[in-house]
Amino acid sequence: MSAAPPAHGPLIQLEDLHKRYGEKLVLDGLTLAVRPGETMVILGASGSGKSVTLRHVIGLTRPDRGRVVSCGEEIQDLPEEALTDVRRKIGFLFQGGALFDSMNVFDNLAFPLREAGWGRERVEERVAEVLGLVDLDPVSVRDLMPSSLSGGMRKRVALARAIAVTPVAILYDEPTTGLDPITAKTINQLIVSMQERLQVTSIVVTHDIVSAFHVGDRIAFLHEGKIRFLGTTQQARASQDPLFSAFIRGGVLETNDGA
Ligand SMILES: Nc1ncnc2c1ncn2[C@@H]1O[C@H](COP(=O)(O)OP(=O)(O)O)[C@@H](O)[C@H]1O
Ligand SMILES: [Mg+2]
C-alpha cells in the first residue's frame, strides 16, 4: 500500500482559499486542516462551494489565491503533469459515482491499477480485494455492466475504484445523495469501515446531516465561502451558532442559485 502519512501536522491543508466564478465569490478565505486518519465532514447548503472545495484538494480546481497542501506537497501552482502523484494517493468518489459505462465492473476497477503500471496478476488480486472491502462478492459482480447495478452497488463499485490504488486519503462528494435511507446507511458504514480498516484520512462533503454525524470525527460548516463552524460531532451538537444549529436541526438553507 501507499506510503504512510507524515506523523505530524495535517495531511491536507487548505489555507485562505479564494475562488470566484464570474460574479460569484464562491470561496472567500476558506481555511481548513485535516489531520492524518480523521474523517472530516464538510457540511453546507447546496451551492455553498463544497464540491469546489473538494476539487481543490487534488488540483482539479485552482484557487485564485491561497494555498493547498495535499499529502505534504504544496500543489496550487503545480503543472497538471505533476499532479499525478498526489492524485494517485488520494481516491476521489465523485458525486454520482461515475463509472465507465462501457466497461464491466472488473475493467472499471482494473483501470486505475493498469494506469499505475500494475501487472496482470496483481490487478486480478487487488480487484477481488477491493470488492471484498466494499462488501461485494467478486465472483458474482466482476462481469456485470454498470447499467445493471443498483444505485447502492454503483456507489460501492465507485468506492472500490477510488480506493484501488491508493488510500492515503479518500474524498467523498455527496456519497449518500440520491440513495434510499437503508442504502445510505450501508454506505455510511462503509465510510467508517474504510477509516478503521485502512487508517485512511477522509473528507466527506455532504448536506446529509444524519450521514455527517454517523461518519464524522469533526464537522466543518461551509457558509458564504468560509468555514463558519469547526468542531467535533459533540461540539457540533452543542453549537450555539444560530445558522449552524438551524442547519443541523434539519432546516435546509438553499443559497440563491441552488447548484
Ligand atoms: N466550473 C464552474 N464554473 C462556474 N461556476 C461554478 C463551477 N463550479 C462551481 N461553480 C459555482 O460555484 C458555486 C458552488 O458550487 P459547488 O461547489 O458545486 O456547490 P455545492 O456546495 O453544492 O457542492 C455554485 O454557484 C456553482 O454554480
Ligand atoms: Mg456539490
The answer, yes or no, to whether any atom of ligand 1 lies below 6 A from the CB of 24, is yes
CA atoms within 13 A on the CB side of 163: 27
Measured CA distances, 171 to 20, 109, 163, 232 (Å): 22, 17, 10, 19
Mean pLDDT of 175-179: 87
Residue 177 lies in a domain: yes
Distance 53 CA to ligand 1 centre (A): 9
Distance 97 CA to ligand 2 centre (A): 12
Residue 150 lies in a domain: yes
Distance 26 CA to ligand 2 centre (A): 12
Residue 176 lies in a domain: yes
Q: Domain of 93? A: 36-55+79-248
Residue 8: CB atoms within 10 A of its CB come to: 7
Cβ-defined contacts of 130-134 (< 8 Å, 24+): 130/160, 130/161, 130/163, 130/164, 131/105, 131/157, 131/160, 133/160, 133/163, 133/193, 133/194, 133/197, 133/198, 134/159, 134/160, 134/190
Residue 174 lies in a domain: yes
- The pTM assigned to this predicted structure is 0.89
Mean pLDDT of 43-56: 96
What confidence score (pLDDT) does residue 255 get?
42
Residue 71 lies in a domain: no
The answer, yes or no, to whether any atom of ligand 1 lies below 6 A from the CB of 48, is yes
Q: Give the C-alpha separation, 218 to 32, whole Å.
A: 11
Among 5, 19, 48, smallest CA distance to 228 is for: 48
Q: What grid cell was written down for 123?
A: 490487478
Over residues 180-211, the pLDDT tens digits come to 888 889 889 989 988 998 899 999 999 889 99
Residue 135 lies in a domain: yes
Q: Which of 17, 23, 24, 26 to mutate to test the pocket of ligand 1 (most atoms within 8 A of CB)?
A: 26
Q: Give the C-alpha separation, 212 to 219, whole Å.
A: 7
Q: Give the C-alpha separation, 204 to 207, whole Å.
A: 10
**Number of domains the chain contains:** 1
Over residues 57-112, the pLDDT tens digits come to 999 999 999 999 999 999 999 999 999 889 889 988 887 768 999 999 999 999 99
Distance, first Cα to last Cα, the chain = 37
Residue 31 lies in a domain: no
Q: Give the C-alpha separation, 252 to 236, whole Å.
A: 17
The answer, yes or no, to whether any atom of ligand 1 lies below 6 A from the CB of 259, is yes
Asked whether residue 134 carries a pLDDT value surpassing 90, the answer given is no
Q: Give the C-alpha separation, 169 to 91, whole Å.
A: 6
Q: Give the C-alpha separation, 160 to 176, whole Å.
A: 15
Residue 185's CATH number: 3.40.50.300
Phi, psi of 250 (to 5 degrees): 105, 0
Residue 21 lies in a domain: no
Q: What grid cell was written down for 41?
A: 465532514
